[in-house]
Amino acid sequence: MSPISGGHWAGIEALLVDFDGVIIDSEYAHYQAWRDAFRAHGLWLSTDAWADHWALRDHSGKPPITAVLEKRLGAPLEDAVGLIREVRQHYRALVASLPARRGIEGWLREAAAHRVRCAVVTDGRADHVHAVLDRLQLTHLVETVIGRDRSRARKPAPDTYRAALTHLGVPAERAVAVEDSPHGIAASRAADVRCLAAPHKITNHLLQPGPGTVVIDPCAVSLDRALALLARPQRTPGAPRRGGEDVLRRIRASLTGLALGDAVGKVIDKRAAAQLDPETHSLVDAFADGGRPPELFRGRITDDTVLTLAFARTITATGTVSRAALEDELRALNPNGGRQIYKLKAAAGPLHVAEDGDTNGCVPRSATLGYLYGPGEVGDLGYDVLKTVTLTHAHPDAVMAALVFAIAVSHAVAGDSPCDALHTIRTALSHLVRLAGGGQAVAEAVVEHSTRGKETTSASALADHLEQAVGMGVKARSSAVAGIVLGLSGLPPQDVLPSLFRRQGPGDLDSVAAVYGALAGAFRPEIIPAAWGAVIEQYNGISFTGMAHGIHQVRTGAASR
């Protein structure tokens, strides 16, 4: 029977489960039996001392536990063989009544529900395992038991795992092991089987995550979630993120799109459609028709682009995300507007934390963080957004808008779809709310209205809807939400920007357009008109290509950190 699973279950055909310490907590019972033996001799055996001995049992010439006892007593035991016999009897009595380890039955049932075959892989005797499974009423969840065999070496040798794979007819890459010990993990990895490491009181400090290994507690985490963590690409500190020409192209197009929305919006200058002069109407028409920029379009940018480029400069200069470097940069530059920047300039002291700020000014510049991080690094991305946004904006709505925007940009630069970005926003929502200190309504508005956006192919209809639903004003919960939703719509700028700039009411349209443009360029680089971007570069003396290369170097670890 083949698996019926998708997602992180896809391709998994077998769950290979250790017995002692995984199905029952017999390892702690083993410790208890020897602890009582030490106590009978007036000595205490700590769990750490037992773990250090137990972790190397049968390896490296480690002396038996009786030798450890004799050393601490300072004298030989009168009857070491008899003591071992008594400890074994005590151990068997303890094990006879042990329940299944908390959470493990749920894992076995989850596997069965997904038609994933289960086998017990143990150094113990198969008949003993079968007896315990019968007592625990778990036999129906386990297809086979691969136990002790004279022809097979004990763990950490991979023999038992290879035997299980052969018996089931499952390749190693389609199996997942559950182990509780270093030698068990080593055995599974030597057989090329990925491993869920489930520590207990004895092995808590002995298990470490690594390639193909995730440390997890069956009591606290479902098997579904554990497999999701195992499937997640792992990136060790300092390892390069995925880069390449496609990522570089998307970063450049996103920077250009952000500046383009900002610069065209600057010409509109918050005027409603009825207030636009004929020249401005002609500019909007030229953009909509895909024509070359008219003379009226000079390429002047506002604080949205100025602050984004300033942030990018500090990152490329320092090779990292430095709050202090950004603070110095923001205090020094001319923000071309940006009221919160002037508040920062007025503040004294080496560390400034904003006291207010619910506007959209912190949102566009957070695109730079989306360029740096991959979609699987939401935690690092989120904390860097928080530490840089709070220089100027303290309101949860502004922080949340910046978080959601940066996540969307991160997915876009990686070549993902808007649906992928929305999925991350939904699944991470409770964590984002705690990080931002609120702002749930902002994230929920993005998700809700993006659903509406997927149902329309009309930029004008979507812009009308957003103007009525969230507005286009300077508040982050308004203009930032509108810009993000438009950016996730997949609609081209030749449709979106003219629809924005023909609003019947005034609004912070340059910010809406900048946020939209950053996402549009990252998702679909080919739709950003190069000729209009070139005018912006020439007027402001900047190079989007050079800026993108610098950010890309930091992203991939090529720059010094």
Tell me the C-alpha distance between 310 and 314, whole Å.
6
Look at residue 64 and tell me if it is in a domain. Answer: yes
Q: What is the pLDDT of residue 241?
A: 56
226 and 209 within one domain: yes
Question: Which structure tokens are listed for 144?
Answer: 């086979």
Taking the C-alpha atoms of residue 388 and residue 417, their distance in angstroms, rounded to an integer, is: 26
Lowest mean pLDDT among 20-29, 74-83, 366-375, 447-456: 447-456
Q: Which residues constitute the domain of residue 443?
A: 244-269+295-556
Lowest mean pLDDT among 88-92, 129-133, 337-341, 514-518: 337-341
Q: Which strands make up the sheet holding 194-197, listed edge to edge?
A: 144-146, 117-121, 14-17, 175-179, 194-197, 213-215
214 and 326 co-located in one domain:
no
23/15 Cα distance (integer angstroms): 13
Please report, as a single letter, which amino acid is at residue 476: A
Q: How many residues does the chain have?
A: 561
**Res 8: pLDDT:** 57
Q: What are phi and psi of 375, to 5 degrees?
A: -60, -25
Provide the pairing of β-strand 213-215 with 144-146.
unpaired
Average pLDDT over residues 48-66: 68
Residue 197's DSSP bridge partners are 179, 215
Residue 7 inside a domain? The answer is no
- Per residue in 356-380, pLDDT tens? 789 999 999 999 999 999 998 999 9
Q: Does one domain contain both 412 and 326?
A: yes
Residue with the larger pLDDT of the pair 390 and 6? 390
Q: Is the entire prediction scored with pTM above 0.75?
A: no
Q: Are residues 413 and 529 in the same domain?
A: yes
Is residue 4 assigned to a domain? no
- Half-sphere exposure in the Cβ direction for 274 (13 Å, CA): 3
Residues 203 and 63 both lie in one domain: no
285 located within any domain? no
319: in domain: yes
Are 421 and 501 a contacting pair, CB within 8 Å?
Answer: no
Cβ 380 vs Cβ 235: under 8 Å: no
Query: Is the same domain home to 88 and 129?
Result: no
CATH number at residue 420: 1.10.4080.10
Q: Across the strands, what pairs with 119?
A: 16, 144
Over residues 274-295, the mean pLDDT reads 87
Number of structural domains in the chain = 3
Question: What is the arithmetic mean of pLDDT over 187-199?
Answer: 95
Q: 434 with 361, same domain? A: yes
Q: Which two tokens stand for residue 106?
A: 């749920």
Is residue 346 one of the residues assigned to a domain? Answer: yes
Q: What percent of the chain has pLDDT over 90?
A: 67
Task: Give domain status of residue 340, yes or no.
Answer: yes
Of 76, 97, 118, which marks where a domain is finished? Answer: 97
Q: Find, among 386, 430, 392, 418, the residue nearest to 484 by Cα.
A: 418
Same domain for 357 and 253, yes or no, is yes
For residues 91 and 36, membership in a common domain is answered with: yes
Looking at this protein, which amino acid is placed at residue 353?
V
User: Is the distance from CB of 178 to CB of 142 less than 8 angstroms?
Assistant: no
For residue 337, pLDDT beyond 70: no
**Of 300, 356, 307, 363, whose CA–CA distance to 335 is shortest?**
307
Predicted local confidence at residue 239, as pLDDT? 45
- CATH assignment of the domain containing 59: 1.10.150
Contacts with 561 (C-beta within 8 Å, 6 or more apart), sequence order? 238, 319, 320, 554
For 483-504, the pLDDT digits (tens) are 999 999 999 999 999 998 887 6
417 lies in the same domain as 378: yes
Domain boundary among 97, 123, 154: 97
Same domain, 340 and 467: yes
Q: Pick the last residue of a domain from 47, 82, 97.
A: 97
pLDDT for 240 beyond 80: no
Confidence band for 341, pLDDT divided at 50, 70 and 90: low
> Does residue 452 sit in the same domain as residue 325?
yes
Q: How confident is the model at residue 6 (pLDDT cuts 50, 70, 90)?
A: very low
The reply to whether 282 falls in a domain is no
Tell me what pLDDT residue 63 has: 66
Cα gap 237→162, rounded to integer Å:
32
CATH number for 227: 3.40.50.1000
Q: What pLDDT is recorded for position 342?
A: 61
